[in-house]
Amino acid sequence: MTRIAPSGAGTVLWDRRPVLGWLIALAGLPFLRPARADGAVVEMRQIQFMPAEIEIVAGGAVTFVNADLVPHTATANDKSFDTGLLRKGERKELTFPKAGEFPYACKFHPHMTGRIVVR
């Protein structure tokens, strides 16, 4: 909806109310917001972390799920976190209270590496 400015100067003004309504509605769509921290999942599959890199917000959590036949860990290079041994089908949720970048690896399979970025 448009309206002509009362000044009569010919300027076309947008009625902001419906626009604001759309913005509010769009803000409710999950793909436009940062990933919910408690919804972040990293699968251990095919001797890889999938996804290998994940970004979450400070205070959020990541759930590691072992979908492989063999046991894995997700262990921070700086030892700031460690899932401990996870067997097939097991999962572990870890919370990341502070911003930073956290490279990690499986203790057992050193080629299996990943990175968590906390904003």
Partner 1 sequence: MSRTLLAGLVLAATLAASCAGPASAQDPAKLNDLEIAHAAYVAGDIDIRNAHLALALSDDPKVREFAELMIRDHEAVNQAALDLLKKLKAKPQDNDFSQALLKGAHDNWAKMAKLSGHAFDKSYAEGELSYHQTVNHVVGDAFIPNVENAELKTLLGSALDTFKAHEKHAAEMVAEIGS
Residue 104 near residue 77, CB atoms below 8 Å: yes
Q: Among 6-14, 23-31, 75-83, 110-118, which window interacts with partner 1 (CB under 8 A)?
A: 110-118
- Residue whose CB is less far from partner 1, 29 or 69: 69
- Residue whose CB is less far from partner 1, 57 or 113: 113
CA dist., res. 114 & res. 52, Å (int): 4
Q: What angle (nearest 5°) sits at the alpha carbon of residue 108, between those of residues 103 and 113? A: 25
- Residue whose CB is less far from partner 1, 44 or 56: 44
What residues from 18 to 77 belong to the interface with partner 1 (CB under 8 A)?
Answer: 46-47, 68-71
- Of 81, 48, 88, which Cα lies nearest the Cα of 67? 88
Amino acid at residue number 63: T
Residue 89 binds partner 1, judged by CB under 8 A: no
Which pair of structure tokens corresponds to residue 33?
Answer: 């917001």
Q: How far apart are CB 88 and partner 1 at their closest, in Å?
A: 7
- Residue whose CB is less far from partner 1, 28 or 110: 110
CA dist., res. 80 & res. 95, Å (int): 11
Residue 105 binds partner 1, judged by CB under 8 A: no
Sites of contact with partner 1 (CB under 8 A): 46-47, 68-71, 87-88, 108-112
